[in-house]
Amino acid sequence: MSRDFLRPQWHLTAPAGRLNDPNGLFLSGDKLHVFYQHDPVFPTRPKRTGWGHATIDLGGDLIPRHLPDALYPHLPYDLDGCYSGCAVPQNEGVRLFYTGNVKVNGERYTSQNQVHLSDPDGPHGGIFRPDPANPLIDGPAPGFTAHFRDPHVTCDEQGWRMVIGAQNDALEGQVVLYRSQDLDSWEFQGPLNFDRPAPRGYMYECPNLLTMTDTQTGEQRDVLVICPQSDVDTCVYAVGLLDGTSFHIETDFAPLDFGHEFYAPHLVSRDGRALMMAWMGLPGRDETPTEGWVHCLTAVRELVLENGRIKQEILLPEQALQTRVDLADEERVLTVFDSHGNPGPRVHYEPEKGTLTLSREGDIRSMACGSGELHLTVDGCALELTAEDGLVAAASMAYGDWTEITEERL
């Protein structure tokens, strides 16, 4: 039996093979370019990750449209993978930064590299030219292991800044900072230091550091997103101010998403706000009922900073299967049904407890939640919700032929 009903329409999936982290989001007018980690021959051949490429028209139908893959591991410094990175639009084109991965006799070597992209809006998605000076950063900084990857580049009043996810020699997760005036030469500044407790993990993956404008105060604040790896893979954010390598935290680290599958988000600035996509998957979880492809990305979300907290809005067209409910003082249950009338995922709001739970086949995610709008959407196997007017978000994979969402007041 065909399982085509599992493939989402508005959530980006790979045409074939394995998809994971989103990379290098950038805007060209209303067109959002999205790169992503792609193993096109998964699972029949050994893993050699490159970058897939797609675009999403934010002013149009929001359906991802695929372009030829952008990067494929073939150079001496990336033979075993072109790992996660970012994009920096310039007048002369776009610069892509990524981690090259090489394994020799079981030992890992990583480097940070750049590719010059021209004509990205052309019919083939652009021309990609590796920088002849690669690697830009050859190996980890002193005091760090080869788990040193995922560059994210933004700018501030001091110039360009790059954060990299790292593991120090004590096997602790950290974020390290580099700075540059020209995007070509990078100087190591050191690991970020936090003045409030940070999550524990043996590695911090996929850091994002960007400046957002608080819609309530009008002030600019630095937002840091990290994925601490431990017994449980999570994603958290903190809001504050970066001063040198000191990150002065004003809003403690908090989950960015409470769902079953949400990891490695990638953020890009847009007029003081941000656009975000994330991997709806987790490391080591590739067993799914999909055929010929595995995993997807979240829908595009718009993020705003309000009173030091992130609010999220899922960008989907009206025709998507979705419902919006105004939560107040009444207990609510929303249930997703398949085409045969069988119940599937369940969302339960309990105002007395101040909680919202998302249940999928008995696996429950619980989150603190107050009143405000709840937005629940299902697109193929991708389920996403926001609640409390966007202060709470959750993404989960739910494999079924979903056709209806019902609401029950208790």
Q: Which two tokens stand for residue 287?
A: 């067993």
d(CA 55, CA 94): 15
| Of the candidates 408, 290, 278, 388, the residue with the CA atom closest to the CA atom of residue 343 | 408
d(CA 229, CA 236): 11
d(CA 73, CA 62): 30
At residue 220, what is the residue type?
Answer: Q
Sequence-distant (6+) residues with CB within 8 A of 381 are 6, 7, 8, 288, 290, 296, 397, 398, 399, 400
Residue with tokens 């405000």: 372
Q: Using an 8 Å Cβ cutoff, are 266 and 274 in contact?
A: no
Strand partners of residue 168 = 144
What sign has the CA pseudo-torsion 242, 246, 248, 251?
A: positive
Q: Using an 8 Å Cβ cutoff, are 203 and 227 in contact?
A: no
CA 271-272-273 angle, to 5 degrees, is: 90
Which one of the listed residues 21, 78, 214, 389 is annotated catalytic? Answer: 21
Number of Cβ atoms within 10 Å of the Cβ of 312: 21
- Output helix, strand, coil percentages for the chain, rounded to the nearest 5: 0, 60, 40
d(CA 382, CA 374): 17
d(CA 109, CA 324): 48
Is 252 tagged catalytic?
no
Please list the active-site residues. 21
